[in-house]
Amino acid sequence: MTRLWNEPAAFADEMIDGFVAANGRYVRRIPGGVARATTSPAGQVAVVVGGGSGHYPAFGGLVGPGLAHAAAMGNLFASPSTQQVYGAAKAADNGGGVFFTYGNYAGDVLNFDAAEQRLRDEGIDARTVTVTDDISSAPVAQRRRRRGIAGDLTVFRAAAAAAERGDDLDGVARVAALANERTRSFGVAFTGCTLPGAEDPLFTVAEGRMAVGLGIHGEQGIDETDIPTADGLAEMLVAALLDPAEVPEGVASVSGARVVPVLNGLGSLKYEEMFVVYRRIAQLLEGAGIEIVDPHVGEYCTSFDMAGTSLTLYWLDDQLAALWEHPVDTPAYRRGAVTATERVSASAIEAEAEATDEIPDADDSSRATAQTVRLAVTAIAETIDAHVDELGRLDAVAGDGDHGIGMQRGSHAARAAADAAADAGAGAATTLQRAADAWADRAGGTSGALWGVMLAAIARTLGDTGTPTAADVAAGVSAASRAVTDYGKAELGDKTLVDALVPFATTLAHGVDGGASLSAAWRSAAVAADRAATATADLLPRKGRARTHGEHAVGTPDPGAVSLALITAAVADVLASASEKGTPS
């Protein structure tokens, strides 16, 4: 269990601050996470990694000469926001383009892709290779859907070494894709992990039992079995990874192949235990005729305090073998001798600081509507506070249990931003846009990204002049629905918030088109959203982390759909009150 924290919501930020304070030789604090404290050659491709916190030494611990140029660091088990990824990329950019690589999780993909597009819009070239090494998360035929676990290390190292030797952006991407194709991992867990402030672990395993095929965000395994001996576990891990279907294309024969084995601890397993397991792993690999290269036993990608381990096999060819020898010097990972470089100057750091945006002009009508927006955002935050534990419980059934916490962080940040904007005289559009940006930035994860998209779409229809009509609001909600499906790629029936959002948007539009007031149409739409959210209990998830453990989710409604329904009901009360008082809604 986690014993030391101040405010759970501040844990990730305080952890990063402490990490930087302890490792100033290597890293500096940036808006999105951390970047190298030393300079890099002009024109060199910038390798930017990242993901949620709780995985140390991934991701900040791998920033430094020979490895990543920067890491975007989200909240615990939540992807960094688009703003954080963008901030990390801007801090790392050397003029040679930006290369993103990270584990293949829905929230990370959403936010990194959005940041990549933003860079491209500014004329900065960018590429991405997601890590898909976990064999338990999808069959071989669907390798692109697999998630990334400890195999991050091999892909990150290959990409960074290629960048350091002077490869261009396309060359770095090709090397990273090859490294990913030649990396396979498989893991087990004996206990779940407990996040700061939580009373219970995200999942439990009965005494004497072991979860098989776990993820690194507290997800349950795909199977469960009795805990074997150390030798028995080694045999299970090796057998899974040497299955002929899992041997990468291009490996002509297992016998004679060169492999880097990485036995990774997930947070609480003792090194001595892992050494006992690795003893047998080495015997088995050698018995198969494999040449073992630079074996790794330790913690490389953890899951907070989870007791478990994973085995990664990295199948080398001549190119990857040469890149593997490139020296690395980071806070948590060192190989060889790295030539010292200059530190980033104070003036350069100051130039990176973002200027505060001025509040756009607004008229009195829009400022009055902004007060209703503020009340709505406040009601959202209060509603999430009232249901945070239940939303976390729903998410823990087949996810990682952080939906309630993430929604709480996002809604509280949105409320603070809306209050600040309204107090500064902002109009309705600016007030809601500031709330959207703050939500996406602080919540992280898939839900944070999607709520930022939704609120921003609605904001664009409100304007900062005049009073928006019911049709304007309905058009904004419809635009939000389209944006979410375009951005997140989920469809009706996938068991996501889309299953509640689409009926909500459709019902609202029909009500307004039929002549109903915004308050009345919104109330009817909220009822439709609630009904649709409840119905998701019968669905099998086809998107997101829950997809891997879909059968566990049948019988439980989707937490994203439930939180959306709760929010629409809360906003309905605000609109009803505004209508009764005759204030703009």
| Tokens, residue 37 | 């404290």
Within its chain, how far is the Cα of 107 from the centroid?
4
Amino acid at 226: D
| Tokens, residue 151 | 């195999």
CB 146 within 8 A of CB 186: no
Q: What DSSP character marks residue 214?
A: -
Let me know the angle formed at the C-alpha of 445 by 419 and 528, rounded to the nearest 5 degrees. 75
pLDDT score of 339: 76
pLDDT score of 356: 45
| Tokens, residue 226 | 């009795």
Classify burial at 256, counting beta carbons within 10 Å of its beta carbon; exposed 0-12, middle 13-18, buried 19 or more.
exposed
- Tens-digit pLDDT profile for the chain (585 aa)? 678 889 887 889 999 999 999 999 999 999 889 999 999 999 999 999 999 999 999 999 999 999 999 999 998 888 899 989 999 999 999 999 999 999 999 889 999 999 999 999 999 999 999 999 999 999 999 999 999 999 999 999 999 999 999 999 999 999 999 999 999 999 999 988 888 888 788 788 888 999 999 778 767 678 899 999 999 999 999 999 999 999 999 999 999 999 999 999 999 999 999 999 999 999 999 999 999 999 999 999 999 999 999 999 999 999 999 999 999 999 999 999 887 678 887 766 666 655 446 799 999 999 999 999 999 999 999 999 999 999 988 888 866 677 888 899 899 999 999 999 999 999 999 999 999 989 988 887 788 889 999 999 999 999 999 999 999 999 999 999 999 998 878 899 999 999 999 999 999 999 999 999 999 999 999 999 999 999 999 898 876 555 555 566 788 999 999 999 999 999 999 999 988 877 665
pLDDT score of 506: 98
Round to whole Å and give the CA distance between 155 and 101.
8
CB 172 within 8 A of CB 163: yes
pLDDT score of 369: 96
> What CA–CA distances, in Å, run from 413 to 76, 78, 566, 570?
16, 15, 18, 18
* 3-state SS record for 249-304: CCCCCCCCCEEEEEEEECECCCHHHHHHHHHHHHHHHHHCCCEECCCEEECCCCCC
pLDDT score of 1: 66
Q: Is beta strand 183-191 parallel, antiparallel or unpaired with respect to 328-329?
A: unpaired
pLDDT score of 266: 95
Could you give all domains of the chain from N- to C-terminal order, each with its CATH number?
A: 364-581 (1.25.40.340)
Residue 55 is among the residues annotated as catalytic for this protein: no
Round to whole Å and give the CA distance between 193 and 505.
38
Round to whole Å and give the CA distance between 541 and 451.
20
Within its chain, how far is the Cα of 542 from the centroid?
18
Catalytic residue among 217, 296, 403, 412: 217
Helix or strand or coil: residue 464?
Answer: coil
Round to whole Å and give the CA distance between 472 and 462.
7
